[in-house]
């Protein structure tokens, strides 16, 4: 694994020509256009990068974009891989290890999620206090390479307070309401049953989604601080009595995408 990471990193370093990213940003639904706002950008399709897999999800461009945003050098993953597409957890997580090797000091993981917490409303945002991995899988399964991380990595400090506080400050300055909560990561691709959502609430979950936890685990493993932020695109199954649809999720992601991008720009400015 270490050799593969080195090869991907060497390839990207050459393309980036000595520019080192300060922070990496994984763009979930509604945030993709943020990569287009980067100045002096260099974009590389996943398919061109050694050992990267391509995203098959609709509306996920599948490229790495390096550029300037709010005074920082930012590396955006425009489109991500999901377990439900058939990728192994370590394939989903792999770009995180390359980002760390490229020198980023933190990674911001964003996504669309269903609101479990009754105090949330569709269109609002939530910063991760923590997560619950309900996929039953881990990107760290298999032989460990101590050059990347520990065999049994700690998971108590995945989302450090200084980044959560920074997100709060950014939200406050932008006048955007930002909840805090626990993200429940599931496999999908089916949405949850109402009973599953009741169970997740009982377990302490506040929002649910089909991404992010493998990337968080991978980042924590290589000691990369994570800021996780969800856009609550819908209330989770069984809460409103309406059926869930991808259409509803996409529509809200588009409607609130601009606000999400304003928030992320401010977060990066304050970093």
Contact positions vs ligand HPA (CB under 6 A):
112-114, 191-192, 208-210, 233-234, 236, 244, 249
CB of 230 to ligand HPA, least distance (A): 8
State which residue, 120 or 159, has the beta carbon closest to ligand HPA: 120
CB of 7 to ligand HPA, least distance (A): 33
CB of 100 to ligand HPA, least distance (A): 26
State which residue, 141 or 242, has the beta carbon closest to ligand HPA: 242
With 0-12 CB in 10 A as exposed, 13-18 as middle and 19+ as buried, what is 169? Answer: middle
Q: Which of 128, 245, 120 is nearest to 183 (CA)?
A: 128
Measured CA to CA in angstroms, residue 261 lies from 70, 71, 129, 199, 265 at distances of 12, 15, 21, 32, 6
**Chain position carrying tokens 């994984």:** 26
Distance from C-alpha of 217 to C-alpha of 239, rounded to nearest angstrom: 29
CB of 142 to ligand HPA, least distance (A): 27
State which residue, 196 or 225, has the beta carbon closest to ligand HPA: 196
Length of the chain: 271
State which residue, 61 or 210, has the beta carbon closest to ligand HPA: 210
């Amino acid at each position: 694994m270490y050799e593969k990471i080195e090869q991907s990193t060497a390839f990207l370093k050459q393309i980036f020509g000595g520019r080192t990213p300060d922070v990496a940003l994984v763009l979930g639904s509604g945030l993709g256009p943020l990569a287009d706002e980067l100045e002096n950008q260099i974009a590389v399709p996943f398919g061109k990068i050694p050992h990267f897999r391509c995203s098959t999800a609709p509306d996920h461009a599948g490229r790495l974009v390096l550029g300037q945003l709010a005074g920082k050098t930012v590396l955006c993953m425009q489109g991500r891989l999901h377990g439900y597409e058939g990728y192994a957890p370590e394939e989903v997580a792999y770009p995180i290890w390359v980002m760390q090797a490229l020198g980023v000091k933190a990674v911001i993981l964003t996504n669309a999620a269903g609101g479990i917490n009754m105090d949330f409303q569709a269109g609002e945002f939530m910063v991760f206090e923590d997560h619950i991995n309900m996929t039953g899988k881990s990107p760290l399964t298999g032989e460990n390479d101590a050059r990347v991380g520990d065999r049994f990595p700690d998971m108590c400090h995945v989302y450090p307070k200084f980044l959560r506080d920074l997100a709060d400050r950014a939200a406050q300055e932008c006048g955007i309401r930002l909840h805090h909560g626990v993200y429940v990561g599931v496999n999908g691709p089916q949405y949850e049953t109402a009973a599953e959502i009741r169970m997740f609430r009982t377990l302490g979950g506040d929002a649910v989604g089909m991404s992010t936890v493998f990337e968080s685990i991978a980042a924590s493993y290589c000691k990369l601080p994570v800021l996780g932020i969800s856009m609550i695109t819908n209330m989770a199954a069984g809460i409103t009595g309406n059926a869930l649809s991808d259409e509803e999720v996409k529509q809200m992601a588009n409607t609130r995408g601009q606000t999400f991008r304003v928030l992320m720009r401010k977060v990066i400015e304050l970093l």
